[in-house]
Amino acid sequence: MSKLFSFGFWNVVARFILRNRTGILVVIAIITVLLALQWKNMRFTYTEANLLPDDHPVNLEYDEFLKHFGEEGNLIVMGVMDSTIFTPKKFQAWEQLSKDIGKFDEVEFTLSVGNLKTLQKRTDTTSFQLVPFIKDSIFTNASLEEYKDHLFNRLPFYDGLIYSPDKKSIRSAVYLKKDIVNTSQRKDFVIDDLIPLIQKFEKETGVKVHTSGMPYIRTLNSQNIIDEIGLFIGGALLVTSLIFFFFFRSWRATFISMCTVMIGVMWAFGFLGLMHYEITVLTALIPPLIIVIGIPNCVFLINKYQQEIQLHGNQAKSLQRVITKVGNATLMTNLTTACGFATFILIKSELLREFGIVASINIVAIFLLSLLIIPIIYSYMAVPKYKHLKHLNKNWINKFVKWIERMVRDRRMTIYITAVTLLCVSIIGIYNIKISGSLIEDMPKNTDFFKDIRFFEKEYEGIMPLEIMVDTKKKKGVMNLSTLKRMDELQEHISEIPEFANPISVVNLVKYSKQAYYNGNPEYFQLPNNQEKNFILSYAKNSNTETNLLQSYVDTTGQFARITTFMKDTDPDRFKRIEEDLNKEIEKVLPPDRYNVSVTGKALVFQKGTHYLVNNLILSLSLAILLIATIMAWMFRSFKMIVISLIPNLLPLIITAGVMGYVGVPIKPSTILVFSIAFGISVDDTIHFLAKYRQELVANHWKIKKSVFAALRESAISMFYTSIVLFFGFSVFTISSFGGTVALGALVSITLLFAMLANLLLLPTLLLSLERSIANKETMRKPALEILTNVEEDDENN
């Protein structure tokens, strides 16, 4: 009955498709147009990837910080390291650049040497006033040298802000308006306004400007993502079409396949727009993934059609058999691939959840498009000629299949020894895998903005913001001298950490206030003592309205303060030790019974996000294995067959993990995807082989050896074709400028290559070796998946 139902269902599907060809094509065209109309809703991401769930404690702490102090990542810095910058012509050009940037609506204010303010004690009231640091309008070499000396030696407040700790470079700060930081206005300002102005300055002066800061980095990084979408789609189409044509030697087959996957790409963009999802570094991979995954569907369908034409030459019968015989197996393979992506839906990361949803939907969509478009288009065309079928009898592919047969028949022990050796060596390599939580590791390293990041790390000891928020638990508690002293002690500890820049907070402002009170003497850049505190702090408080000294570092209630530092790109293990040490120091200096202190910032959120994903990697992969094992159980109704089918698919994952350990590819958000994706795709070959193997068992009256080799001969060519297409298709991602995308493409390609060899060599070897206990009539008697033999199908038709 199950056999009749399976055949009957797919026979109904075949008749429906072939009898409603025009209507189906019209429906596909309408859906394509409707989804194309959704493209206008596509949005490119303007923030970093948040890998943590919204309700994660680290995210909640960061949101609390933003509530009190607003967006932290609104600073763009421009630095120059040129001994001639303090000459009249170049200095005036440098200051004019800052003024020109400050005129844009997107800019809150700019801070540079030319518009620096110095704190000065007023004589008429008990307060301070801000006066211009530079009072001249005409500069000479002598006056600029004097200003330079004053800046470097008498204004310690600006150490690390305007000039580098080694006093070899200066920089200007551009503070964007906080409400535009995460919008398209930021991108328009950086690309269309800021960069051209900087390039103009460089051309006129010959001075190299290093530009960085989170808004700048994020903008250029997002632009790279946008630029690479077209590159990936074009590369995937070119590579897959060339390989497809090489195998089939048919422009017609190649063109039909390319049209099919391009419609799939249009649908992919449409679904992104329909769901209002942002295009991130992950979702940008979906359109080329659809090409790479869709082409194997075309390979199986067209290859089967041509085999049937070669067998009997009847086009109608061939098209019906393509749908009835390949449809079910292709559905199963696409479902397993979709399951590999769908496991990300269950991880509480918005980034991965959206990627999993769109990818799994589009994989099912490309299956439907392939199943509908290819038979319908071929039904309108003439029967393929002999030249279109010659590829079925290629000598080199036949030699490859014979080599596979020979290895399985005569070299089983060699196959087992090789598999066990690779397993052991890979397990050793796995112990060398490191975890990366770097915010910049995947960024394109050959770009100017990445080199500028390294410049600021070297000169200013970091560019990634790290924030410490101190809750004094009472209003106006920040300005208590005891609190300021405790914060100063914590800042001293932070300054001693090599990976961190000198921190800045209200403490620096109070120190500067004391220096100003003592007429700018840099020796007094320190906190007031108990005798001085009343009048100096009263000066600082009275000055707040005029100078806005405190608003950036103390909230409006005076209860919350922030300590801001910047960190270098730091090894995760080292960062973990730094974090533990910092938390101990915080607990000692700012005891929990008096203060609530949280360490937050973009850098920390990303570090924690990476570790969160690593912790969920096993969950994701386990879910993929469970889902695919469930599908295998439904197909074959045999626990033993589930176990044996998983072995050749888990081994390549272990080998890939070992390769990562040996070549130094760390676990990070991009490489975490490799395992679930590769497993979901590689199991396709297993399904095709076992489905054919079960079919041969029935046809050959349960003769195991004969069935294994018959299945191998018929399945090997399609498995080889699809694996090669997938290998080179995923290899397209290695042309990316993003390190994570390169690693993803290379690792998935390697995994799929090993998976093909495992399914062609190890799987049939296991079936032959364990034929009496696993591959017998009892364990394979009533599978849910029925793929009829030619004889059975003809009997049904009769």
In order, the DSSP letters of 535-553 are HHHHHHHHHHHHH--STTT
Query: pLDDT at residue 770 above 90?
Result: no
Q: Quick count: other Cβ atoms within 10 Å of Cβ 142?
A: 8
Query: Does residue 98 contact residue 172 with C-beta atoms inside 8 Å?
Result: yes
Q: Is 713 exposed, middle or buried (0-12, 13-18, 19+ CB in 10 A)?
A: middle
What is the rounded average pLDDT of the residues 272-286?
Answer: 81
Alpha carbon 311 to its chain's center: 47
Query: pLDDT at residue 41 above 50?
Result: yes
Residue with tokens 């075309």: 298
129: enclosing H helix or E strand: strand 128-132
Q: Mention every residue, 6+ apart, whose C-beta is less than 8 A from residue 786.
A: 2, 3, 5, 6, 7, 328
% of the chain with per-residue pLDDT over 90: 14
Q: 3-class SS at 389?
A: helix
Q: pLDDT at position 585, please?
A: 92
Can you tell me the distance from the alpha carbon of 197 to that of 78, in angstroms, rounded to the nearest whole number? 12
Residue 211 sits at φ, ψ, to 5 deg, of: -120, 135
Query: pLDDT at residue 679 above 90?
Result: no
DSSP secondary structure string for all residues of 557-574: TSSEEEEEEEE----HHH
Alpha carbon 755 to its chain's center: 24
Q: pLDDT at position 94, please?
A: 92
Q: Are strands 170-176 and 107-111 parallel, antiparallel or unpaired?
A: antiparallel
Q: 3-class SS at 79?
A: strand
Query: Does residue 112 contact residue 173 with C-beta atoms inside 8 Å?
Result: yes
Question: Which residues partner with 25 through β-bridges?
Answer: none
Can you tell me the distance from the alpha carbon of 577 to that of 399, in angstroms, rounded to the nearest whole number? 57
Residue 709: band (very low, low, confident or very high) from pLDDT cuts 50, 70, 90: confident
Q: Which residue stretches of 249-285 are H helix?
A: 251-274
According to CATH, the topology of domain 2-49+219-431+606-797 is Multidrug efflux transporter AcrB transmembrane fold (1.20.1640)
**Between residues 261 and 464, which one has the greater pLDDT?**
261
Which residue type is seen at 178?
Answer: K
Residue 107 sits at φ, ψ, to 5 deg, of: -100, 130
What is the rounded average pLDDT of the residues 229-253?
Answer: 79
Domain limits of the chain?
2-49+219-431+606-797
Tell me the per-residue pLDDT of 361-418, one tens digit each, with 9 for 90 and over: 999 999 999 989 988 888 888 776 655 555 555 667 778 888 888 888 888 899 889 9
What is the rounded average pLDDT of the residues 520-544?
Answer: 73
DSSP secondary structure string for all residues of 474-512: STT-TTSHHHHHHHHHHHHHHHTSTTBPPPBSHHHHHHH
279: enclosing H helix or E strand: strand 278-279
3-state helix, strand, coil in the chain (%, to 5): 70, 10, 25
**Between residues 391 and 461, which one has the greater pLDDT?**
461
Residue 53 token pair: 């769930």
Cα angle at 418 between 413 and 420, to 5 degrees? 95
Q: pLDDT at position 365, please?
A: 93
Can you tell me the distance from the alpha carbon of 246 to that of 295, in angstroms, rounded to the nearest whole number? 14
Query: Does residue 513 contact residue 540 with C-beta atoms inside 8 Å?
Result: yes
Helices and strands, counts by H and E, the chain: 28, 11
Q: Are strands 43-44 and 278-279 parallel, antiparallel or unpaired?
A: parallel
Can you tell me the distance from the alpha carbon of 341 to that of 352, in angstroms, rounded to the nearest whole number? 9
Q: pLDDT at position 26, please?
A: 93
Most confident range (mean pLDDT) of 218-222, 289-293, 481-485, 690-694 is 481-485
Q: pLDDT at position 48, please?
A: 62
Query: Does residue 473 contact residue 596 with C-beta atoms inside 8 Å?
Result: yes
Strand runs (DSSP E) across 177-258, as ranges? Answer: 210-212
Query: pLDDT at residue 343 above 70?
Result: yes
What is the rounded average pLDDT of the residues 596-606?
Answer: 84
What is the rounded average pLDDT of the residues 568-582?
Answer: 82
Residue 542: band (very low, low, confident or very high) from pLDDT cuts 50, 70, 90: low
Query: pLDDT at residue 248 above 80?
Result: no
Termini Cα distance of the chain: 17
Q: Are strands 464-471 and 596-600 parallel, antiparallel or unpaired?
A: antiparallel
Q: pLDDT at position 539, please?
A: 58
Q: Is 109 exposed, middle or buried (0-12, 13-18, 19+ CB in 10 A)?
A: exposed
Residue 551: band (very low, low, confident or very high) from pLDDT cuts 50, 70, 90: low
Query: Does residue 114 contact residue 98 with C-beta atoms inside 8 Å?
Result: yes
Query: Does residue 426 contact residue 654 with C-beta atoms inside 8 Å?
Result: yes
Residue 790: band (very low, low, confident or very high) from pLDDT cuts 50, 70, 90: very low
Query: Does residue 244 contact residue 254 with C-beta atoms inside 8 Å?
Result: yes
Of the candidates 565, 499, 498, 459, the one whose C-alpha atom is nearest the C-alpha of residue 169 is: 459
Which 8-state DSSP code applies to residue 761? I
Query: pLDDT at residue 267 above 90?
Result: yes
Query: pLDDT at residue 667 above 80?
Result: no
Which 8-state DSSP code applies to residue 118? E
Q: How many CA atoms lie within 13 A of 322 on its CB side?
A: 30
pLDDT, mean over the chain = 80
DSSP secondary structure string for all residues of 645-678: HHHHHHHHHHHHHHHHHHHTPPB-HHHHHHHHHH
Query: pLDDT at residue 633 above 80?
Result: no
